[in-house]
Amino acid sequence: MSSQEPKRKFKLSLYCTKSEFELLQSQINVIKTESKKSSTEVINSALTLYSAGLSQKEVEINQSCDKKTSEEPVLLTSPSAINNLNSIVSLHNATCTNCVNMVASQTTGYATSFTVKCNICDFDYMWNSSLQLPNGMDLINMRVVHSYFTSGMIPSQLERFSDCLGAGTIGKNKMQTFVNVFSEVVAAERQLSCENAISQEVQASESPEGIDIITDARDGTQSSRMLCA
Residue 203 · residue 217 · CB < 8 Å: no
Each of the 229 residues of the chain gets a pLDDT tens digit; together they read: 455 667 666 666 766 777 777 777 776 776 666 566 666 666 666 666 666 655 555 556 677 888 888 888 888 999 999 999 999 998 888 888 888 888 888 888 999 999 999 888 888 999 999 999 998 889 999 999 999 998 989 989 999 998 888 888 888 888 998 899 889 988 999 899 888 888 887 777 666 666 665 555 555 555 554 554 4
Global pTM reads 0.59
- Residue 140, domain member (yes or no): no
Q: What is the DSSP letter of 129?
A: S
- Residue 165, domain member (yes or no): no
Domains identified in the chain, total number:
1
Q: Is 117 exposed, middle or buried (0-12, 13-18, 19+ CB in 10 A)?
A: middle
Q: Tell whether the torsion through CA atoms of 146, 149, 153 and 155 is positive or negative.
A: positive
Question: Whole-angstrom Cα distance, residue 136 to residue 9?
Answer: 55
3-state SS string over 45-65?
Answer: HHHHHHHHHHHHCCCCCCCCC
- Residue 90, domain member (yes or no): no
**By residue range, what is the domain housing residue 32?**
16-53
- Residue 30, domain member (yes or no): yes
- Residue 32, domain member (yes or no): yes
- Residue 49, domain member (yes or no): yes
